[in-house]
Structure 1
């Protein structure tokens, strides 16, 4: 048994990665540029949304790891999961590359789970469900943080481009929370219900888990399903007082290469 499996994470293993600080710096700098109108606004919106999206992905995965740590998996520290470094996760392609590609191609917020949790260390079905739920809850919290200032009118006197960028980023967070709560193998929604299923059902479903995220993306590519889903997303945004037109403008500015 390795030393990492017998102790709790130390301060070094909890230290925030420089990579995450760089992402925050890009987020802050691009946000300031869009706010003040400095430089090319369209490209500033692109950087702001991508950086904000990646920061939320780091927090999403961190939430899984942190909840797992408190649930009994003390190995997450040695794996680097508590440093908010995207390059330390089990599969950087699933957790970061594909989600960014999905945003660029279709404006869909779909984070992929790529934190390897040693589930045998965790006792109790509720703890397993909470570990899976932690990620989508972070996306929901991020949605609240970026949508409330826009919906409450706190930014009405500021640059409309910044409000549009926040609205589009908030739309991504809402879509990520809703999609990831679907009980589809490979997504967190299935991870929430999986502990409550019979062993036979879990074994039967397990082979489909690697394809769940791609399957959801393909289904969303169908026009009618896409309309239904985004109507739901816009309804949630409307609850915060944010119009879908703001998100549409943000999406347009984000795709600076199309105009």
Structure 2
């Protein structure tokens, strides 16, 4: 007799990754969410990704998740903050958040969606780009760059949280973004140096609090600091709620 677990695993791949709240009037918004792994130090920040998905679901958005089918820069033991072996695949790790249903980023077509969202986490700086190693001299993953530029060309909103705004800073010259504050302020903003680095890339940094968002109306780019701030979880969640509201407001 099959165990409950084996039955679940047998049918799990058939679960949909489209998070739709059928009672919402905003149901028509189709949003692509791009993940970068699973775990703050080497992938997507799980609380940020989950907050994005919760707020998208509550708003009635039709969500499909994507991730690049590549190896991670490295894999981190999150109990120690140390590198561990073997390395892992970004798409496979992202599937943990997507509950098994996720598509390779190379298959994402901007023409099929009204908006795209990039949750933060070091995966954005390690797997979606090599910002963590090269900083302002980094390169962005080719599929990520293609997605950002195609959504921009089609004048569709691009949302990014936490460290992920560095991706548009590299891809869209002159874009306005926020990663919070430009000074550490006693440890409240531990990654404050990112603001200055973004300016070096030719983008404009706009200071915001963790519960605030910045909307670049010209580029249709929405950003919020999230865990760039040493903040409480509910503050990050609330900021991402405003962020998703702003993204959907600009979506079709």
TM-score, normalised relative to structure 1: 0.30
Bigger Rg over Cα: 1
Report 1 or 2 for greater relative contact order, CA contacts < 8 Å, sequence distance ≥ 6: 1
TM-score normalised by the chain length of structure 2: 0.31
Give the structure with the higher percent helix.
Answer: 1
